[in-house]
Amino acid sequence: MVLFDQVYCIDYNGWISGASKLPPPKQVDFSSQTIPELIYTRADSDRVAAVFDAEKVSLTFSKVVTEMETLAAGLLSIGLAPGDRILICGSNHSQVFLSALAASRAGLVFSLVNPNFADADSFYRALKLGEFRAVICFRATEAQDYLHTLLKKITPELLRSHKGQLKSVILPNLTHVILAEEEHRHGGCYTLSEIFGRSSKDKIERLPNYENWSSHKLACLQFTMGTTAEPKLVAISHFQLLNGARAVVTAFGIKKDQTLACALPLFRLPIFALVCLSPFLTDSRSVFPEPQPLPRNLFASVKKYRCSTLLTNGAALRLLLKISETQKVKLDSIEQILLLGDRVSQDALKSIQKQADNVKIIALNSHKLYLNSKMKKVCYSDVARKDEEGSIEIVANKEDLIYDNNNGLVEHWNIERLLNQNDLIKGVQVVSIGRGQPVTAVCVLRNSQTNISYAISELVAMCKKHMFPVPDRFAFVHDFPRIHTKIQKYRIREMLREGRISIF
């Protein structure tokens, strides 16, 4: 097992513009190319590019090209035009993968998003922000037809409209609704199979000539996470997306004949770029165990396809370890594990060695990070610390840092970890609304009937016992504001500023 002691941020734009003083990884090709150009480089190959295990679908490179062209022609046949924006709401499904490539081939601007919207309002904000003309709805984990149900609440006109002719008062740009769930047909909506069926050889031949496109043409729009501010859209060109993918593939050493198992969601664009484009860049293969980002059969897929690289996060890794330890088996095919997203405990990193003797672990806290032994650290908006073993841990976002009246840093993450061990509370977030302002511990009680004064006294005593700073104030809420399970600290601060939280 190898743990690296330096963390780096991939500065795609800095390398492209020349602003970065650091050299890009060796063998990173910055030649102009678009997504369709890349896909067509392997149009004649019968090697398997992607496997969707739960669907029992294996796509060769040539099959990907055929399906991409068919769907692209179908999308243009229903009235969409190059330059239109299309929102793809789905996770690790084969048709999500193909829809994104087809949108690019048709000259559309695509955006990938988590289909599990909390409510109709969050779905509306996404559609409104992106000014999308079309939306493709895949199944969410909530219930059958969940997204269609939300759309009916957002724009009741859908029930009375003809396909491709939606006229919504609050979403004037949206005209086309495409449902990938095909158990039921709904008025005003296409099904994805209908779009495929509208294609023809003649329509495929009349697809836009991608060879005339600039590599700086807009390819996609990506939503920011929304954990430190309201979600925003970032515009990304073909040039940026492909060369970002090349940089990551090179940094991680993805090579021909390697098989990468993906346990992270495709709606995160950096994940899409790595696992969906790397086969076309390196002649490797990507395996998706299940449509859900946290696959229950991850271990089985890794064994079945002899995956050499595993892309996952802390939660999926812990699940993998539990399964493999219970069954007393080893992951002898795994050579490297790329850990992204959630914080990963040192115990988890160390225990993986029991199941995978020769694995190289690359632990990252963000999809923007990678590891390399030669480059300097590139700073960004997260704050990290390095332990005695040289392991890097992201502890906080820069916006969440707290300073006391003496301009000293309050290590709020340590206070949170301590208080989270108290049986009276489900969770705690320590915040401050400004430099030198009171430090407030915002808590969620396990039992709403718990006496607040008693809870505060227990938490104060806990801090004093372990010689941690005692928060100046305490507050209690029913739950923390979240976006896709991620706690939004900036909204907690807003609630405090606006007096929407009672202080004790």
pLDDT band at 466 (very low <50, low <70, confident <90, very high): very high
Q: Is the pLDDT of residue 365 over 80?
A: no
Percent of the chain exceeding pLDDT 70 equals 78
pLDDT band at 231 (very low <50, low <70, confident <90, very high): confident
Which one of 70-74, 159-163, 211-215, 272-276 scores highest in mean pLDDT? 70-74
The pLDDT of residue 62 is 98
Domains along the sequence of the chain with CATH: 35-45+56-235 (3.40.50.12780), 247-395 (3.40.50.980), 401-497 (3.30.300.30)
Burial class (CB in 10 A: 0-12, 13-18, 19+), 256: exposed
Q: Map residue 79 onto helix, strand or coil.
A: coil
Q: Cα 10 to the chain's mean position, in Å?
A: 16
Give pLDDT tens digits for 295-347: 777 878 888 999 998 888 776 677 667 766 666 656 678 888 887 765 555 66
**Do residues 133 and 167 lie in contact, with contact meaning Cβ atoms separated by under 8 Å?**
no
pLDDT band at 384 (very low <50, low <70, confident <90, very high): low
Tokens encoding 123: 């779905």
Name the phi and psi angles at 333, rounded to 5.
-85, -20
Transcribe 171-195 into DSSP letters: -TT--EEEES--SS--TT-EEHHHH
What residue type is assigned to position 221 of the chain?
A: L
Percent of the chain exceeding pLDDT 90 equals 55
The pLDDT of residue 343 is 57
The pLDDT of residue 355 is 56
Q: How much is the average pLDDT of 354-364?
A: 55
The pLDDT of residue 22 is 53
The pLDDT of residue 337 is 81
The answer to whether the pTM exceeds 0.85 is no
The pLDDT of residue 2 is 29
Q: How much is the average pLDDT of 411-438?
A: 92
Q: Name the residue among 216, 220, 192 with its Cα closest to residue 93.
A: 192
CA dihedral 299, 305, 310, 313 (to 10 degrees): -40
The pLDDT of residue 149 is 93
- Least confident range from 27-36, 109-118, 176-185: namely 27-36
Q: Name the residue among 303, 353, 363 with its Cα closest to residue 333.
A: 303
Transcribe 412-454 into DSSP letters: HHHHHHHHTT-TTEEEEEEE-SSTTSPPEEEEEESSTTS-HHH
pLDDT band at 41 (very low <50, low <70, confident <90, very high): very high
The pLDDT of residue 302 is 86
Q: Is the pLDDT of residue 418 over 70?
A: yes
Strands across the sheet containing 360-363:
57-60, 48-52, 285-288, 259-262, 309-312, 336-339, 360-363
Give pLDDT tens digits for 92-135: 999 999 999 999 999 999 999 999 988 899 899 999 999 999 99
